[in-house]
Chain A
Amino acid sequence: MSTFKNSEGAVIVDRMIVVIQENKQFLSDIDGLIGDGDHGVNMNKGFTMCREELDNTPGNLAFSALSLSKILIMKIGGSMGPLYGKMFRGFAKELEGKEEIDIHAMAAALEAMLSSVQSISPAKPGDKTLIDTLSPAVAAFKTAASEGKEFEVALDEMKSAAISGRDSTRDMVAQLGRASRLGERSRGVLDAGASSCCLILETLADTTKELLES
């Protein structure tokens, strides 16, 4: 059965930091269409602070994700700081103490990401939020795992579900958050949170696959 080591998994968080830094402008630009245009700036601020923290105090995947979580919760503010902070906290807590991470551990960690976000946010699928990316992605991974599919296949299916989830927000009218002020005017553009969540999950899938191959 394919697994990877928690001790080698910190590269997943490293890559997430890079992808957020590279997409700072893109995320702010799409946020600017229906929000206040600071999503990329705030995400980049939090993930970059985490880079500095991990350079000083490196660790395994669970540790890195927990460091990211603490910074997002305590330092970033708005709604995205606590939402992503909780998401990574759930992920980290589920993986803490595990030496090897297999498909079932990953399924549990993804499930914890979703339930942690839902513990502080009333957002439902269809509200035009990051839940529209996260919820179908987690469901796709869990389904693949329960059907006995390979770890790599489950990751691919999670990634595809994340992308189509993100794309589904284009035709939605925002029900929560700043964009909900625009009502019908929020239709026609991607949700910024759903987009950043997709980048994070795509990076999780791609990097995990590399770890499984090595």
Chain B
Amino acid sequence: MQKFINDPSLVVDEMLQGYVNAHPDLVSHTENDRVLKYKHAPVEGKVGIVTGGGSGHKPAFVGYIGKNMCDAVAVGEIFTSPPAQMFLDAIKAADSGKGVAILYGNYAGDNMNVSMAMEEAEDEGIRVKKVVANDDVPSAPLSEREKRRGVAGEILMWKVGGARAAMGASLDEVIAASQKAIDNTRSIGVGLSGCTIPDVGHPNFSVDPGKMEVGIGHHGEPGIEVADLETAAEVARRMVDVVLPDLPFEKEDEVVLLLSGLGSTPVMELYILYRDVIAKLEEKGLRVYLSYVGNYFTSLEMAGATLTLMKLDEELKQCIDYEADSVGLRQFQRNIH
């Protein structure tokens, strides 16, 4: 394996040790060594924002711990849901007494572990509610949207939920805004290579040279089709053609555009793809309000990209414009609209 590791079974623990030491102004350890929290969490008078999931998606999930973002994160093994105890400890680390919103992606393990942690938290008198992200269009038909997986759209859900909480909203208001954020969000991934879980030692799947997997999931879940690799402009057209009709996004809609690399695709290529995506969106009459381009939600060293669009209204715009300070997403207050 061409990897910078010591012991394959300790990659998550060693990564977390490095992470906290690198960002002491933002994050700190908790009593549970698999739960990291915002240095100032629980923030007095604010609804706590919790997320979590398997590792291997840097900067997700711990990278979105910070000011006006997530307060605490449960960190599982690579591509494996954290146990209920970790989610419970994250809930406790985030709770200031105003309740906790747990905002995570739709995966079987996470659903089970979160629901058990929520039961325990409620038994301990903590108010906790959840929103489950399901923005990945190719993972199930629209009629079965509840089966769709959560992918990079989770970041926009955290951005909105985190901002709404920071504005002083109640738990129900934070939950409603976060749910609206994900309901207005659609994503699609295109994969160009597999990835290797260090403790497994061999790639979990492969994409043949000259091919691409359209609709691939964040752990290599099979997509809609394996096609011949096309130009960036043609890939952009495919992505836009899947995402737009699903919501649907229509002429004059204002959108946030998130284009995330999956791990080993050069950012240069992301900007080429971005150029072609916005050309397609302009053709359809959509207006891009704000763009995020970079490695925001990866899958180890998979090559490829995820396109995410979120349709905006006034509330979502205010949340997106809100100041945020985390390793994965850092922006000043925007005063655009």
Contact = CB atoms under 8 A, between A and B. Distances in A.
Interface string B163-199: 0000000000000000000000000000000000101
A74 B84 contact: yes
A182 interface: yes
B331 interface: no
- Tell me if A's interface is mostly helix, strand, loop or mixed: helix
A75 B83 contact: yes
A77 B200 contact: no
A193 B96 CA distance: 40
A183 to B, nearest CB: 5
Contacts of B108: 79, 121, 176-177
A81 interface: yes
Determine which residue in A32, A74, A83 has the highest number of CB atoms from chain B within 10 A of its CB, and name it: A74
Interface in A93-132: 120-121
B124 to A, nearest CB: 13
B112 A83 contact: yes
Given A36-B197, A82-B109, A176-B108, A77 B80 contact: yes
B199 A37 contact: yes
A194 B197 CA distance: 23
A180 B220 CA distance: 11
A73 interface: yes
Contacts of B199: 36-38
Nearest to A83: B112
Contacts of B205: 181-182
A81 B81 CA distance: 10
Contacts of B219: 178, 181
A78 B204 CA distance: 17
A79 B112 contact: yes
Nearest to B74: A77
Contacts of A79: 81, 108-109, 112
B318 interface: no
A162 interface: no
Interface in B65-102: 76-86, 88
Given A82-B116, A83-B112, A181 B81 contact: no
Nearest to B197: A36
Interface in B195-245: 197, 199-200, 204-205, 217, 219-222
Contacts of A205: none
Contacts of A181: 205, 217, 219-222
Given A77-B113, A181-B217, A183-B222, 19 more contacts: A36-B79, A36-B80, A36-B199, A37-B200, A38-B77, A38-B199, A77-B76, A77-B84, A77-B86, A79-B81, A79-B109, A81-B113, A82-B84, A82-B109, A82-B112, A120-B112, A178-B79, A178-B219, A182-B205
Top 5 A-B pairs ranked by shortest CB distance? A77-B83, A82-B112, A74-B85, A79-B109, A181-B221
Interface of B: 76-86, 88, 108-109, 112-113, 115-116, 120, 197, 199-200, 204-205, 217, 219-222
